Chain A
């Protein structure tokens, strides 16, 4: 049994100008102890799909899915109250802006202990001990003293460590990290990523890293799914993805990395990500794709086979060249 299984998840937001589809038929299967990333540019729906799973979207969102199970429990049928028992205990999340994720009115100790109070039967003194232990675990020096610090007294890196401590408080089975290092400096980013990976190993939890940074993906995770304009276009092991991307979007994205540049000019992807008003009829990437033909412009592609990374493409690439395998 998988830890998390999502089939055909679609999220639509009601806006003043008609519905906006942020997530479009996304599948995802996460096993216990997995270390994976969802990578995509802004507007690719990478955060929204996870927020939808956790039930954290505003009421304007319309969520549909064929299947959404966590640890054998059906999240679709669950009441909001039962879901809250799982969220924060078995599934936790950390966010991009550590400074605004902590409540500035309370000490960090109080905020950690609040999580413990909500989800565990620990007594007052046990909570204190556990809070110190957690702070120590995420590498905060002098943890007992730092518990009484207010968020504004901590740097960005320290705040993110506190957020991680809070997320770990109930030994979650799945931790979702939404751009955890984007707001941080490079040297601090390296520290936080190392910490996350160490914790993932020692705690044996699954970690989903949501990011836009290909470098972070390459250096951190085992398996990657690539999202574009709300769709999951490809999913592969990290090494395979970087050596042999199967979806033209992934290929173009990797080619656009400055460190892979050979000449003075970088290869580019022309145009922009489709927005609410200009969604193409066929494949969503077809207006920007170098390999697109009439079929791509008119019909939405299906998934390719697993050894082609389930690429959402009529002509998935193999070693940089399109193969004409009909979608399975």
Chain B
């Protein structure tokens, strides 16, 4: 019949691309969008903290110990959010604290996801005994209360921010392993993987070039959610004196330093606590939105 005379279906506009589709799903979740904006603001603050902060975080004003925020009696606009027991400006310390929290989140998630994903892909492709070995090892790590395990690790490695981050990464990493392995197992039986093997793809190429990119959606969601738990765990370790050491302006450490003034000066405890709360909440909201947008199982047709 006339194969050439009709061509309109071939040249019609393509359906919306993956990015636009992602955005249209993400946008539907109002909380996720708000979370994303807060996260973006958080990122910018962390980036340009030295420009925003009126003082350096370590500068002590001996005449202004425990001065309340400006709107309270005794406060002054010189120190917008008041000062801490050593006379350091709270606002400056909080702004710099954002840097640390962001830094912790990025490093911890990078370490945890990098090793977690690699181990997960290997487990997904490994023979049964190796797979079992890896997964049981991960189960053992998961069976410890995560903060306790991190505490033990820090106790062994010595208290410092770097060691705390390593410990948290180790605790978070089994989640990535499990998730990646599950995604790999469901992808590797698909025909395109077999087609790749028939075309001559080796094992490593199949694992990391063919299969891995198709498993990224759940991993991205997990990374976002891990970001917030990393911040939370680091703050907890800092609060227990096992994370960042004073005078580092890390939010958890700030909390710990000023816990004895909680009854006299509410702001020294409340402000860092609020910062942690808002950051974690924003990231979790955003993570939920990512899950809605990226997880095909939750998509409405």
By a beta-carbon cutoff of 8 Å, the part of chain A in contact with chain B is 15-17, 60, 252, 267-272, 274-278, 280, 287-288, 290
Contacts and interface: CB of A to CB of B under 8 A. Distances in A.
Nearest to A267: B1
A168 B253 CA distance: 71
A287 B7 CA distance: 8
- The contact size tier of chain B is 10 to 19
Interface of B: 1-10, 12-13, 15-16, 21, 24-25, 300-301
A276 B13 CA distance: 11
Nearest to A274: B9
B25 A16 contact: yes
Contacts of B2: 270, 290
Contacts of A272: 9
Nearest to B10: A271
A157 B7 CA distance: 42
A288 B7 CA distance: 9
Contacts of B12: 277-278
Is chain A's interface secondary structure helix, strand, loop, or mixed overall?
A: loop
B13 A270 contact: no
A288 B6 CA distance: 6
A267 B1 CA distance: 6
14 contacts: A17-B15, A17-B16, A17-B24, A60-B300, A268-B3, A269-B1, A270-B2, A270-B3, A271-B9, A277-B12, A278-B12, A278-B13, A287-B9, A288-B9
Nearest to B9: A271
Contact of B1 (A16, A17, A270): A270
B8 A277 contact: no
Nearest to B7: A271
Most chain A CB within a 10 A radius of its CB, from B3, B9, B25, B300:
B9
A278 B3 contact: no
B37 to A, nearest CB: 22
Contacts of B15: 17, 275-277
A169 B271 CA distance: 67
Contacts of A269: 1
B15 to A, nearest CB: 6
B8 A278 contact: yes
Contacts of B6: 270-271, 287-288
Contacts, number: 43
A276 B5 CA distance: 23
Nearest to A273: B9
Contacts of A287: 6, 8-9
Which of A267, A269, A270, A272 is most buried by chain B, counting CB atoms within 10 A of its CB?
A: A270
Given A16-B24, A17-B16, A277-B13, A271 B8 contact: yes
Contacts of A274: 9
A119 B66 CA distance: 75
A206 to B, nearest CB: 30
A5 B86 CA distance: 85
A164 B177 CA distance: 45
Nearest to B16: A17
Q: Which of B1, B7, B15 neighbours the largest number of chain A CB atoms within 10 Å of its CB?
A: B1
A17 B25 CA distance: 11
A224 to B, nearest CB: 23
A60 B301 CA distance: 9
Contacts of A288: 6, 9
A252 B3 CA distance: 13
Nearest to B2: A290
B35 to A, nearest CB: 21
Contacts of B10: 271
Nearest to A252: B1
Contacts of A16: 21, 24-25
B18 to A, nearest CB: 13
Contacts of A15: 301
B161 to A, nearest CB: 44
Contacts of A60: 300
A277 B9 CA distance: 10
Contacts of A252: 1
Contact of A268 (B1, B5, B8, B16): B1
A271 B301 CA distance: 25
A288 to B, nearest CB: 6
Contacts of A278: 8-9, 12-13
A280 B8 contact: yes
A275 B15 CA distance: 10
A247 to B, nearest CB: 15
A271 B3 CA distance: 8
A20 to B, nearest CB: 10
A272 B15 CA distance: 15
Contacts of B5: 270
A276 B301 CA distance: 13
Nearest to A288: B6
Contacts of B25: 16
A284 to B, nearest CB: 12
A266 to B, nearest CB: 10
B23 to A, nearest CB: 10
A156 B91 CA distance: 68
A288 B1 CA distance: 10
B185 to A, nearest CB: 21
